[in-house]
């Protein structure tokens, strides 16, 4: 992260190239999976929205930021518990996503594909500026002190915070897959993504399914924002920018429109970034994601998994 505050425990860059043993490799792997799980959650939003509307919602990173701010502000009041604040943050991001679709995308349906793209970038800039105006530019620490115990898993040190983040994120991904594959509305969303007219013939209201997709995708981005606000102990208006772009790369890597692809792409990207930082130079960390994006676009533009898989 560019804006990572100095007070942070240096988790990912404290390795010296040259004395990287197997435990260090595993540590980097776990670091990568942790940030990668956040990329995956955001990438799911990109990919689901692309699947049903054929557009990239570049304001996805701002939904991540919105989730984090709402949770952090609620926690700071001292009146709300961690779980309550987490759910409220997700809900806020979800509702913001639905509102965004209403005002920034729905009126533009049927126009040239570049138009909603510009609208999304505009929405992204607007939301960042709004957050800047409301909350100021400085970082906010996570209001709840989380235990930084290190537990041994199979002889390897894992921070309990990382374990919690990883398990929560994977849990949400599993829930999403269950929703998409086994519920009526999940299948209806896939049907709209595959063939809108035929879905309408089944009595499926496409507008409602688009709204539902924004609701679910934005809630996941919000969850990612809260998890990363815990991890980096920092919440600030531009926090969604880089994760948003990296998750976009992850979605492309996994095959945009493909749901399992977004998960695989996000995790892979996180790991590649973390290993790249450790074995090359930590300065290249942010570059890794974009090098991967360029390579994928050049070599395999359809992504690892092709088509609208689910």
Q: Report DSSP state, residue 140.
A: B
Nearest distance in Å: CB 187, another protein: 5
Nearest distance in Å: CB 200, another protein: 4
- The contact mask relative to another protein for 149-188 (x = CB under 8 A, - = no) is -----------------------------------x--xx
Residue 237 CB coordination number (10 Å) = 23
Is residue 310 a contact point for another protein (CB under 8 A)? yes
Is residue 203 a contact point for another protein (CB under 8 A)? yes
Q: Hey, is 167 helix, strand or coil?
A: helix
Q: Is the CB of residue 155 less than 8 Å from the CB of residue 214?
A: no
The Cα–Cα gap between 16 and 213 comes to: 44
What residue has token string 């450790």? 278
Nearest distance in Å: CB 186, another protein: 10
The Cα–Cα gap between 299 and 301 comes to: 6
Please identify, among the stretches 41-49, 72-80, 100-108, 302-310, the one whose residues bind another protein according to the rule CB under 8 A. Answer: 302-310
Near another protein by CB under 8 A: residue from 204, 216, 220, 277: 204
Is residue 8 a contact point for another protein (CB under 8 A)? no
Number of residues that bind another protein (CB under 8 A): 21
Q: Which helix (H) or strand (E) holds 157?
A: strand 156-159
Torsion, Cα 72 77 81 86, to 10 degrees, reads: -20
| Residues between 239 and 268 that touch another protein (CB under 8 A) | none
Near another protein by CB under 8 A: residue from 154, 197, 283, 299: 197
Is residue 140 a contact point for another protein (CB under 8 A)? no
N-terminal to C-terminal alpha carbon distance within the chain: 31
Near another protein by CB under 8 A: residue from 191, 224, 230, 250: 191
Near another protein by CB under 8 A: residue from 125, 130, 202, 297: 202
Please identify, among the stretches 25-33, 75-83, 216-224, 301-309, the one whose residues bind another protein according to the rule CB under 8 A. Answer: 301-309
Please identify, among the stretches 138-146, 164-172, 201-209, 261-269, the one whose residues bind another protein according to the rule CB under 8 A. Answer: 201-209
Residue count (the chain): 310
Is residue 195 a contact point for another protein (CB under 8 A)? yes
Q: ∠ CA(45), CA(225), CA(241), 5° rounding?
A: 75
Token couple for 110: 């049927």
The Cα–Cα gap between 200 and 180 comes to: 18
Name the site residues for another protein (rule: CB under 8 A): 184, 187-188, 190-191, 194-195, 197-206, 307-310
């Amino acid at each position: 992260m560019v804006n990572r505050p100095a007070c942070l425990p240096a988790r990912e860059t404290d390795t010296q190239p040259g004395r990287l043993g197997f435990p260090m490799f595993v540590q980097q792997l776990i670091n990568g999976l942790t940030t990668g799980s956040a990329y995956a959650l955001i990438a799911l939003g990109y990919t689901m929205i692309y699947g049903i509307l054929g557009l990239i919602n570049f304001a996805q990173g701002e939904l991540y930021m919105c989730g984090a701010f709402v949770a952090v502000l609620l926690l700071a009041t001292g009146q709300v518990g961690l779980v309550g604040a987490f759910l409220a943050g997700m809900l806020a991001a979800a509702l913001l996503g639905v509102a965004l679709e209403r005002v920034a995308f729905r009126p533009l349906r049927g126009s040239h594909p570049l138009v909603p793209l510009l609208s999304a970038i505009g929405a992204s800039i607007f939301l960042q500026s709004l957050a800047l105006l409301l909350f100021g530019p400085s970082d906010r620490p996570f209001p709840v002190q989380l235990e930084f115990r290190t537990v041994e898993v199979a002889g390897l040190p894992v921070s309990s915070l990382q374990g919690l983040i990883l398990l929560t994120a994977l849990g949400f991904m599993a829930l999403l897959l269950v929703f998409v594959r086994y519920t009526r509305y999940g299948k209806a969303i896939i049907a709209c993504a595959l063939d809108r007219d035929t879905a309408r013939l089944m009595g499926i209201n496409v507008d409602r399914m688009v709204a539902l997709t924004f609701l679910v995708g934005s809630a996941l981005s919000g969850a990612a924002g809260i998890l990363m606000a815990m991890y980096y102990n920092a919440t600030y208006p531009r926090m969604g920018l880089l994760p948003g772009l990296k998750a976009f790369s992850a979605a492309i890597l996994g095959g945009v429109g493909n749901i399992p692809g977004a998960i695989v792409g996000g995790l892979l990207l996180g790991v590649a970034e973390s290993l790249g930082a450790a074995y090359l130079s930590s300065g290249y960390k942010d570059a890794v994601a974009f090098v991967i994006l360029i390579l994928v676009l050049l070599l395999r533009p359809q992504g690892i998994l092709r088509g609208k898989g689910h």
